[in-house]
A and B are shown apart, each in its own frame.
Chain A
Amino acid sequence: MNRSDQGLQLDDGTAFHERMWRLRRVGRLGMLLFILLGVAGLMGRGPLSRAEVRDARGLRIVHERFARVEAPQTIRAQIPAPPAGAYQLAVSRDFLDRVRIESVVPEPVLAEARADRVIYGFARGPGPDPAVVTFHFTPNSAGLVRAGFGVPGLAPLTIRMLVYP
C-alpha cells in the first residue's frame, strides 16, 4: 500500500510483510528443530548417532553414524582372542585415507601396510579375553565414509559414517 494521503509517502508493503512474518515463523521453527536434532545426535555425538555392529565371531565395532570435519571422533573395536599370537585388526584404506589418526589405544606393536588395508597388531596378555582397541581420529573431509574393520582372513564389518562440513 502506498500511503500518499496525510503526507506520508511510503510503500510499507503489507503483503510483503505478511509473507515475511510467515517465513520468519517457519524459520524459527526450523532453527528449533535444528537444535533438537543436534541434541538428539543427528549432527554427531548423541543417541541418534551412536551405532554398533558385531559379527558371530565376537568382533564388535562401536562408532558414530554422524561426524563433523575436524571434530575429534572415536571408534572402539572389541577383537576376539585369536587361537594363537597377537590380536590383529585390519582397517580399510578407504577409512584411513579420509581421516587423520591421532592415536590408537593401546598402541599397536605392529602396523602392516597392504594395498587395501592396514593390519594392526596388539600385544596379547594372559587369558582368552577379547581386546578393546580405541581409534582416536579426525575426519579430513565431508561426505560418506565407509570403513571396513575385521580380523585378517575373514570378511570385515563395514561401518558408514556421514561427515558434515
Chain B
Amino acid sequence: MDSVLRAAAMYLVLLVVFRIVGKRTLSQITPFDMVLLLIIAESTQQALVGPDFSIVNAVLVIVTLVTIDIGLSWWRHRSRRVEKILDDMPLVLVDRGRPLQSRLDRERVDASDILEAARLQQGLERMDQIKYAVLETNGEISIIPWRAEPSPDRGSAPAGEVVGG
C-alpha cells in the first residue's frame, strides 16, 4: 500500500507543481533547465521507491503511475472541464496584429519570443506581418501570418501571399 500511495502522491505533487510553473517554462528547455529536470527526477525517484529496491516494488510504482495516467487520460477525454484543468487552453497573444501586452506579461512571453517563432515557423521578419500568435497548451507559440483574404468573386488568393507589412 505504501508504494501505491507514494506513487500517487508524487504524481499529484508533480502535476500541481508543473501547472503552477506554467506551460511556457516547460517549452523553453535551456541547459540549466535540463539539469533542474534531472535533479527533480532524481529526487522523485527516491521518494517513489524509498528504501525498497525490490523489483516488485518498482513494478508496483510503475504500474500505479501508468494506471493513474491512463485514468486521467480517460477522464480528460470524457470531461471538457477536466481537460481544461489538466491541459490548459490555448491563449491568443497577438490578435489581428495587435500584441496583447497584459497576456504577454502574465505568461512571461516577450515580443522577441513571438518574433523567434515567426521566423522559425513562417520565415517572417516583423511583428506587423503576424496576424495571430497563439500560446498553445504545450508551451509553443504558433504563428498565423496575414494572408490575402479570399474574394467571393475570384476564390482564394494564391497560397503564401502575405498582406501587410
Interface residues in chain A, defined as those with a beta carbon under 8 Å from any beta carbon in chain B: 3, 6, 8, 10-13, 16-17, 20-21, 24, 27-28, 31, 69-70, 165
Contact (A21, B106) CB under 8 Å given A8-B132, A11-B89: yes
Residues 80-111 of B, flagged 1 when their CB comes within 8 A of A and 0 if not, give 00001000111110001000000100100000
Nearest A residue to B93 via CB reads: A12
A-B contact count (CB 8 A): 39
Q: Residue B62 at the A interface, CB < 8 A?
A: no
CB pairs A–B below 8 angstroms (29 shown): A6-B96, A6-B131, A8-B92, A8-B144, A10-B90, A10-B134, A11-B89, A12-B89, A12-B90, A12-B134, A13-B89, A16-B84, A16-B89, A17-B89, A17-B91, A17-B103, A21-B106, A24-B20, A24-B22, A27-B16, A27-B19, A27-B20, A28-B20, A31-B17, A31-B20, A69-B50, A70-B51, A165-B6, A165-B9
The CA of A24 and the CA of B88, in the complex, are separated in Å by 12
The CA of A31 and the CA of B131, in the complex, are separated in Å by 37
Taking CB atoms, residues of chain A closer than 8 Å to B84 are 13, 16
Taking CB atoms, residues of chain B closer than 8 Å to A6 are 96, 131
Nearest B residue to A138 via CB reads: B51
The CA of A100 and the CA of B19, in the complex, are separated in Å by 38
Contact (A70, B16) CB under 8 Å given A11-B89, A13-B84, A17-B91: no
Residues 42-66 of B, flagged 1 when their CB comes within 8 A of A and 0 if not, give 0000000011000000000000000
State the Cβ distance, B9 to closest chain A Cβ, in Å.
8
Known A12-B90, A12-B92, A16-B84; 15 more pairs at CB < 8 Å: A8-B131, A10-B134, A12-B89, A17-B91, A20-B88, A21-B106, A24-B19, A24-B20, A27-B16, A27-B19, A31-B20, A70-B50, A70-B51, A165-B6, A165-B9
Taking CB atoms, residues of chain B closer than 8 Å to A165 are 6, 9
Nearest A residue to B103 via CB reads: A17
Residues 1-25 of B, flagged 1 when their CB comes within 8 A of A and 0 if not, give 0000010010000001101101000
Taking CB atoms, residues of chain B closer than 8 Å to A20 are 88
Taking CB atoms, residues of chain B closer than 8 Å to A27 are 16, 19-20
Nearest B residue to A8 via CB reads: B132
State the Cβ distance, B106 to closest chain A Cβ, in Å.
5
State the Cβ distance, B159 to closest chain A Cβ, in Å.
14
Taking CB atoms, residues of chain A closer than 8 Å to B9 are 165
